[in-house]
Amino acid sequence: MSDTQPRLHLHDSRTRSTVPFVPLAPDNVRVYYCGPTVYDLAHIGNLRAMLTADVLVRLLRHLYPRVTYVRNITDVDDKINARAHANGESIADLTARTIHDFHEDLAAVSILPPDVEPRATHHIGEMQDMIRRLIESGHAYEAEGHVLFAVNTYPSYGALSGRTPDDLIAGARVEVAPYKRDPGDFVLWKPSDDQTPGWDSPWGRGRPGWHIECSAMSQRYLGESFDIHGGGSDLLFPHHENERAQSMCCHPHGRFANHWVHNAMLLVNGEKMSKSLGNFLTVRDVLRDTPAEALRLLLLRAQYRSVLNFTREGLNEARQMLDRFYRALENLDPMQDPVPVPDSVVQVLCDDLNTPRALAEMHALADTAMTGDSLAAARLKAAGNLLGLLQDTPEAWFRGGAKVDPTHIEHLIAERLAARKARDFARADEIRNDLAAQGIVLEDGPQGTTWRQA
């Protein structure tokens, strides 16, 4: 990062304050995000976490010479087992299909892939090594085929989520197993029967608990200490709290994650998303009738730590905002060389990823570009690139998704022009109205008639 660039400030969940981001090694900023448990399509709540990571990593890559971004895949889990059984398919087929769908959905919304995407089932050995070390150091114990982490051996347990020991017990979501020494102890390894995926281990055939996966994979690819760990606020407790505890106890001289980033939850029409409420939306549900950039922009209109209310009206507003940005890009000189991202946009993004203010800066650029200023249009394009927006040309944006053959539309435009010259205004209006009914808008200008999708 150069001396002239703004300093990045991020809210740290552990300290519950916004602080300057100071990388452990400026020549390689290391980031870990919790990825999907692959048993179903990604929903828009999942997407918000992945988009937060995408904006953060894009900004870090703008500021620093190298960023290593790791996002895991959980492909061993009881939910996966249950879904595969319900579907009558193998776990391998279910996870392969779901991973493919996840990648496809994220690519549609211009979310860049991570540098490394480890799968849990490929790192069982690293997990077993961590568990063995925790047992040897007195932080874990065996009980009835299970291995559990003893929370009372880590005095800082609860510090990340800000929970007291009483809160931790009251917040337990499962019945306390009789083999636990303490109600808050959590599973590192559990036994598997013949119908359940399992691996041989010193504690019998079994499979890992959820929390140990991320500790093992982050250590494998980023080391005992790395810069940023992120995910949705729903992961703060117990998942991230447990990750931190076991990692710090396994590697007491490391720092594990130096900085914690969590995005807030997402509502749909003012309510928590739930299948029982009928407002559960997958990414694919939304993209059936909405351009992917409009969905991305809608999520960017709220700062990542603010609760976002997803509505169809909001999607329409996002699409109209993109219409305006693409109108401004029509003034971009095709011979204009690429320009740097405007400092004003970088500055507000460095203020804890303030995407609403970044969009406001883009509106100001669009205002200037619409006066015919090609440089402002180029700066708008550069700002959009940093945010993963404005990836189309104006022509592709306005004509995207049209259900009518473009050649046929051009033929009708020529027929309409001939009708107007012949003063057959009824026929000219009929052509315009027929196209409008198909979602095609005609716009007459000094250079002739153009068309776009409504």
On whether 275 is known to bind a ligand per the annotation, the reply is yes
Enter the pTM of the model: 0.88
User: How many CA atoms lie within 13 Å of 278's alpha carbon, on the beta-carbon side?
Assistant: 0
Determine the Cα–Cα distance for residues 428 and 413; give it in Å rounded to an integer: 9
Separation between Cα atoms, residue 128 and residue 71, nearest integer Å? 20
The pLDDT assigned to 35 comes to: 96
Spatial distance between the Cα atoms of 398 and 446, rounded to a whole number of angstroms: 19
Q: What share of residues in the chain are helix, strand, coil (percent, to 5)?
A: 45, 20, 35
Residue 172: pLDDT over 60: no
Residue 34 annotated as binding site: yes
What is the predicted pLDDT for the residue at 436? Answer: 83
Task: Assess contact for 33 and 231: CB atoms under 8 A.
Answer: yes
pLDDT tens by residue, 358-383: 999 999 999 999 999 999 999 999 99
> What is the widest separation between alpha-carbon atoms in the chain?
93
Give me the numbers of helices (H) and strands (E) for the chain, helices first please: 16, 15
Q: Are 95 and 35 in contact (CB under 8 A)?
A: no
Its sign, for the CA torsion 367, 369, 370, 372, is positive
Q: Which two tokens stand for residue 286?
A: 């939304």
User: φ and ψ at 182, to 5 degrees?
Assistant: -135, 140
How many residues are there in the chain? 454
The pLDDT confidence band at residue 326, using thresholds 50, 70 and 90, is very high
Peptide bond into 238 cis (omega under 30): yes
Residue 190 labeled ligand binder: no
Q: Nearest-CA neighbor of 189 among 127, 264, 243?
A: 127
Rounded Cα distance between 454 and 451, Å, is 9
Say what the pLDDT of residue 177 is.
86
**Contact criterion met (CB below 8 Å) for 73 and 120:** yes
Q: Rounded mean pLDDT of 212-236?
A: 97
pLDDT at position 163: 86
What pLDDT was estimated at residue 290? 93
pLDDT band at 3 (very low <50, low <70, confident <90, very high): low
pLDDT band at 446 (very low <50, low <70, confident <90, very high): confident
d(CA 164, CA 169): 9
The mean pLDDT value for 138-159 works out to: 96
437: confidence class by pLDDT, cuts 50, 70, 90: confident
Q: What is the pLDDT of residues 70-107, one digit of tens each?
A: 999 999 999 999 999 999 999 999 999 999 999 999 99
